[in-house]
Structure formats: structure tokens, C-alpha cells
Amino acid sequence: MAELNGILCIDKPQDFTSFDVVAKMRGIAKTKKIGHAGTLDPMATGVLPLFFGRATKACDLLPRQDKAYRASFRLGQTTDTQDCTGTLLETRPVKAGKKEVEEALAAFRGEIQQIPPMYSAIKMDGKRLYELARQGIQVERKPRPVTIHQLELTGAEESSHTYTIEVHCSKGTYIRSLVADIGEALGCGAVMTALRRTMAAGFTLESCITLEQAQELAGEGDLEQQLLPVERGFESLPKVFLSAGQTRLFRNGVRLDLDRISCPISEGQTAVYGPESQFLGLASPTEGQLKLVKLFALEV
């Protein structure tokens, strides 16, 4: 089988880790070179972009790092993991209803400070926090700035103290911690009961297929047709189009004179295209020249 190159968005099933999905897809696609963008907890479902072949070089370069989630939570409880899979720490009376929950959300919109949960993959002194948490060790974590672009209450079951929110946030935001902080603001605590990622790296649920569908497509020899081109991950960037001669120079790492290129930006990154709009890679304007950042195309 020829090497697969491109992006495949999987709707991650519950109780799978992100690595479980990658391992499963390696077997389905019969390839080892797969990466993913944005780890999801086992209890979470939703958008998990997978990168195959040369597209794996894009994982750390994607310009869109914001994400969107649908989360449900229950008031009146706290757990050690901040979700319903953890050990129950406390049960408190709930006096808040839909109106109070909606009012509490206002304080969490915009840039906020968030303390990462102990059950997270953040490293401290060479060890991941969840490894320490499993040993019963608690360490002090410094608050970090995150941005909540949008936060809306979309569901309320007051009788069971269960609510649903839609969140659009910056990279590094922990929805479990957001829920826990909302619960503390209401004076009763809260645990997340469900989490579904609806957008990551600019990809949405509409772009996703299930692992079962991927298995079926692979069995029919049609999996490659399902892959999205790597440039889909860079659609939000400005574009530069090069001639055939400029393309040859660019592919060899030669810096190109901006005065001879119609470059839409003077700083940051741009997506570079060659003849017939073929995606070549990424570049950055530096001191009047277009400098190669990453090359994706092997042939032109």
C-alpha cells in the first residue's frame, strides 16, 4: 500500500484515549506514521484530527489552536478528577437554579486565570501531574491565563441540577476545571458528566468519521479518498503564489525577495503555493525576504 498523506478527522469514541485511536488507525490503515492534534480525555468524545505521512509535520504548526466543546455538569458534588469518573470528595446542598447558573457564567468569559487540574498531562519536575495524583500527591499549581471566547448555557434540568454549556476557548483550557470553578462560584461545587469536542484545529464534527466507518472504508480500499489535504489545516493563513522558478528556489531553501512576490503580510506565517495552486509549505517574511519554515510538497 502506498504511503497515506493527509488529514483524517475521527469522532473519538468514549473510553478511548487519543493514543488508543492512533493505535487503532495504525492497524486499520496499515501505516505507522500517524500523529494527532489535541489530546482528549478517555471520557470525552468528538473531533480528533489525525495526520498521516508527510502531514505529521503539520501537527505542531497549525495556526488555529482554539477549540470548541459541549459539556454537561452536575451541581452539588466534587471529585478528585473534577468529573464523574473520579472519587467523590464532597456532596453539598444546591440552592442555584438556571438563572443563577446563567448569571455565574459571565465571570468566566474573556481572559481568565485557571489552575490546571492534578489529573492532567502537564509536567512538573519531570513527572506528569496525573502520575503524582495517582500516588495521592498534591502539588501547588500556578494559575495560567486562558481565554474563553464564548460560553453559553444551552441546557438545564433543574430537578437533577444538571446543565449543559457550549464553550469556545483557547488552547490549554481545561473544561473540567472550568466546570469546577463555576460550581465553586455557585457555592455548591460541580462535576463534569459529559464532554464532546465540536471543533479542533478548524475542523468540526461534520468533517469526522467513526473508527467503524474508517475500518469499512479501508476494507473497500477507499480510505485514502477520505483523507483531507494537509493545506486544509492552514486555510486561515494568508496565501502566497510562486512561479515555477520561484518554486524551485523555495523548495531548496532559498530566501525569496519580497519585492518580487505579491506577499499579503510583512510578519507572521503564510501558506505558500506553487504552479497550479499546489500547496508547498509554510514561510515567514523576514527582513524583506520570504523564508522557508516547513516544506510539505516533495514534488512539483
Q: Nearest CA to 36 among 24, 21, 46? A: 21
pLDDT exceeds 80 at position 213: yes
Phi/psi for 88 (5° steps) reads -65, 125
**What is the C-alpha to C-alpha distance for residues 80 and 132, in angstroms, rounded to an integer?**
13
Mean pLDDT of the chain: 92
Question: Quick one: pLDDT at residue 35?
Answer: 93
Higher pLDDT, 259 or 150: 150
Residue ranges making up the domain that contains 268: 237-295
280 close to 251: Cβ distance less than 8 angstroms: yes
Q: Determine contact, residues 181/108, Cβ cutoff 8 Å.
A: yes
Burial of 95 (0-12, 13-18, 19+ CB in 10 A): exposed
Q: Residue 133: is its pLDDT beyond 70?
A: no
172 and 143: one domain? Answer: yes
Q: Are residues 71 and 184 in the same domain?
A: yes
Is the confidence at residue 222, as pLDDT, over 90?
yes
Domain containing residue 281: CATH number: 2.30.130.10
Give one DSSP letter per residue of 6-72, joined into a string.
EEEEEEEPTT--HHHHHHHHHHHHT-S-EEESS---TT-EEEEEEEEGGGGGGTTT-S---EEEEEE
Among 40, 72, 92, 103, CA closest to 179: 72
Q: Where are the alpha helices (DSSP H) in 195-236?
A: 211-219, 223-226
Q: 53 and 97 in one domain? A: no
Identify the pLDDT of residue 139: 73
The reply to whether 181 and 74 lie within a common domain is yes
SS3 state of residue 212? helix
For residue range 101-116, what is the model confidence (pLDDT) as tens digits? 999 999 999 999 998 8
Residue 161 pLDDT:
98
Greater pLDDT, 54 or 267: 54
Q: What tens digit of pLDDT does each residue of 159-202 get?
A: 999 999 999 999 999 999 999 999 999 999 999 999 999 999 99
Q: State how many domains the chain has.
A: 3
Q: Give the pLDDT band (50/70/90) at residue 266.
A: confident
DSSP state of 234: G
**Do 89 and 132 sit in the same domain of this protein?**
yes
How far is residue 292's CA from residue 253's CA, in Å, rounded to a whole number?
Answer: 6
Residue 2, pLDDT score: 64
Q: Which of 147, 176, 200 is the last residue of a domain?
A: 200
Asked whether residue 91 falls in the same domain as residue 183, the answer is: yes
Do 245 and 224 lie in one domain? The reply is: no
Catalytic residues: 41
pLDDT score recorded for residue 300? 40
At 101, is the secondary structure helix, strand, or coil?
helix
Q: Are residues 136 and 187 in the same domain?
A: yes
Does 1 fall in a domain?
no
First to last CA, the chain: 22
Query: Are 103 and 119 in a shared domain?
Result: yes
In a shared domain, residues 146 and 79: yes
For the stretch 94-104, pLDDT in tens is 999 999 999 99
Q: What is the pLDDT of residue 217?
A: 96
Is the domain of 148 the same as that of 49?
no
State whether 31 and 93 are in the same domain: no
Question: Could you tell me the pTM of the whole model?
Answer: 0.91
Report pLDDT digits (tens) over 273-296: 998 889 999 999 988 899 999 998
Q: Which residue has the higher pLDDT, 298 or 82?
A: 82
